[in-house]
A = this chain, B = another copy of it.
Amino acid sequence: MRYAESILEMIYKSDAHMTAEQVFLALKQQYPSVVLATVYNNLNSLYQQGKIRKISLEGYPDRYDKLTRHDHLFCRRCGKLSDIYLSDITGELERQIGFSIEGYDLKIQYFCPQCRAEQRESNSVYESE
């Protein structure tokens, strides 16, 4: 795992929700010989060890994220993902469920301001269902 440390650091320093491809491109700057499959190997291994998060978004490639507690806003229209810091509900969940959990992903669906505006526009012309 020659690259695991660099990848981990990269993910923790950024809040860009990087895809494997993006991690690959960034890593390539430092290690030009690295290939995409290696990045996938490393990311999967880090994920399995529970050192990073993996975020699946419908219609977009998987993204990797730090474990640092935070939640996500996901725009249903343009797919934009942003961080939002809400209080940690792990304890509450465990109490309700009755056993311990590894964590949770809270993805809040909304329409970002921009998409909201564009939607209003199109509605004013044709009244869609």
Q: Are A107 and B110 in contact (CB under 8 A)?
A: no
A12 within 8 Å of B by Cβ? no
Tell me how far the C-beta of A91 lies from the nearest C-beta in chain B, rounded to whole angstroms: 13
Docked Cα-Cα span, A109 to B99, in Å, equals: 12
Tell me how far the C-beta of A29 lies from the nearest C-beta in chain B, rounded to whole angstroms: 26
Task: Identify A104's interface contact among B47, B93, B99, B109, CB under 8 A.
Answer: B109
Docked Cα-Cα span, A102 to B74, in Å, equals: 10
Whether A49 touches B129, Cβ cut-off 8 Å, given contacts A57-B56, A58-B56, A58-B62, is: yes
A76 within 8 Å of B by Cβ? yes
A-B contact pairs, 7 of them (CB 8 A): A55-B58, A58-B62, A73-B97, A86-B97, A100-B110, A103-B108, A106-B106
Report which A residues bind B (CB closer than 8 A): 47, 49-50, 54-58, 62, 73, 76, 84, 86-87, 93, 96-97, 99-111, 129
